[in-house]
């Protein structure tokens, strides 16, 4: 097979940032994706309906001319989130989901939730209206080893919340462990998971062996190879509970390459080429469309995109090692292998 036509993919977890950074990164997602769930962890975060409407308008204004890319907005859940504001935003279709960051778990999560009893009423209302909760699933307890924080989150936080609030629809974002894959598989129709591009390619050795590689540092941090294999198996299985959320998370090189560097991999420019390579290696190219274009809309109860994209296999695809922004260069994810699948214009 050297040509592959798919329903146009969507990205169910994307960081576009704001200002100069947004203008530089947005065209890379808009070139390939129909829609994307836009993560709200700006500084300050997108917490009110008004913040979301203004952010959406800034994205639409920065969108390349002629692009039909649709940002699907989210609210950043805080202990002060107002129920009325959130319900109104959902009713008019301004927001597609709400994002839960445990306070301190990841980039710009300081305004996140510490005491989960304080958001219970909001969660109950979300269950009632079927509004999905996107979850960064890591505990923040410094006593818990960073490689165990996702598995611990399932037992200590996520499962108790789901028992407490039956019917709450949850997307466990950027899963990195076989524990999360198993939990989502056994969790019924109200839970799904996004899987990133980079977690299908790297394990923790890529970050640490032979010298430290800050551009592979993201959260949740990549785990051991057995976990990566579980993610590849889930993504390539075609199972409805697993879909693409790239978590493309641009930071300038200056912010990544320092004694305390930021977490995040910037994968927007080459994501689809990397994914096709991974699926081909598994003999699963026929299930790429389910992962990139069908399972996400089904969970979010949205129609699939009506148009298609075509990938073609050939000589290795060229992509920039970094993109320029007015804030400085942003390094593009290096999958460490030649990519033979290019997206045709």
Question: Which residues are near ligand NCD by CB under 6 A?
Answer: 15, 41, 106-107, 136, 218-219, 247, 249, 263-264
Annotated binding residue at 41? Answer: yes
Q: With CB under 5 A as the contact rule, which of the stretches 28-36, 187-195, 239-247, 317-325 interacts with Zn ion?
A: 239-247
Q: How far is the CB of 247 from ligand NCD (least distance, A)?
A: 5
Nearer to Zn ion, 136 or 198 (CB): 136
Among 10, 179, 247, 334, binds Zn ion (CB under 5 A): 247
Query: Hey, which residues are catalytic here?
Result: 247
106 touches Zn ion (CB under 5 A): yes
Nearer to Zn ion, 119 or 309 (CB): 119
Total number of residues binding Zn ion (CB under 5 A)? 3
Q: How far is the CB of 249 from ligand NCD (least distance, A)?
A: 4
DSSP sequence for 180-198: HHHHHHTS-TTEEEEE-SG
271 touches Zn ion (CB under 5 A): no
Query: Tokens at residue 307, please?
Result: 């148009």
Annotated binding residue at 219? Answer: yes
Q: What is the separation of C-alpha 61 from the centre of its chain, rounded to a whole number of angstroms?
A: 23
Q: Which of residues 111-150 bind Zn ion (CB under 5 A)?
A: 136
Q: CA-CA distance, 262 to 278, in Å (whole number)?
A: 26
Task: Look at strands 341-343 and 308-313 and give their pairing.
Answer: antiparallel
Q: If contact means CB under 5 to 8 A according to the sort of partner, which of ligand NCD, Zn ion, none does residue 119 touch?
A: none
DSSP sequence for 47-93: -SHHHHHHHHHHHHHHSPTT---EEEEEEE--TT--HHHHHHHHHTT
Q: CA-CA distance, 339 to 313, in Å (whole number)?
A: 9
Q: CA-CA distance, 49 to 77, in Å (whole number)?
A: 12
Annotated binding site: 13, 15-17, 41, 99, 136, 174, 219, 247, 251, 263
């Amino acid at each position: 097979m050297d040509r592959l036509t798919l329903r146009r993919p969507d990205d169910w977890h994307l960081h576009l940032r704001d200002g100069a950074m947004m203008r530089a990164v947005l065209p890379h997602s808009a070139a390939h994706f129909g829609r994307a769930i836009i993560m709200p962890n700006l500084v300050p975060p997108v917490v009110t309906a008004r913040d979301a409407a203004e952010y959406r308008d800034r994205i639409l204004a920065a969108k390349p001319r002629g692009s039909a890319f649709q940002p699907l907005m989210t609210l950043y859940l805080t202990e002060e989130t107002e129920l009325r504001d959130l319900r109104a935003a959902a009713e008019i279709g301004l927001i597609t989901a709400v994002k839960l960051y445990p306070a301190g778990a990841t980039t710009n999560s300081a305004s996140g939730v510490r005491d989960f009893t304080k958001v219970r009423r909001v969660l109950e209302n979300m269950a009632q209206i079927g509004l999905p909760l996107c979850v960064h699933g890591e505990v923040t307890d410094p006593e818990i080893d960073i490689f165990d924080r996702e598995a611990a989150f399932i037992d200590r936080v996520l499962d108790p919340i789901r028992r407490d609030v039956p019917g709450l629809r949850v997307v466990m974002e950027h899963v990195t462990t076989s524990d999360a894959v198993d939990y989502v598989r056994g969790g019924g129709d109200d839970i799904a998971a996004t899987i990133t591009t980079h977690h299908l390619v790297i394990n923790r050795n890529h970050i640490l062996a032979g010298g430290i590689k800050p551009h592979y540092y993201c959260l949740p941090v990549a785990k051991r190879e057995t976990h990566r294999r579980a993610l590849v198996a889930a993504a390539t299985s075609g199972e409805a509970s697993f879909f693409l959320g790239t978590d493309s998370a641009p930071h300038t090189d200056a912010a990544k390459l320092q004694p305390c560097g930021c977490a995040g991999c910037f994968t927007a420019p080459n994501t689809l080429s990397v994914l096709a390579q991974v699926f081909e290696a598994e003999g699963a190219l026929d299930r790429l469309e389910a992962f990139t274009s069908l399972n996400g809309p089904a969970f979010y109860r949205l129609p699939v995109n009506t148009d298609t994209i075509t990938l073609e296999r050939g000589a290795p695809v060229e992509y920039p090692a970094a993109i320029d922004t007015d804030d400085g260069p942003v390094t593009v994810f290096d999958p460490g292998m030649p990519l033979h699948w290019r997206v045709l214009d």
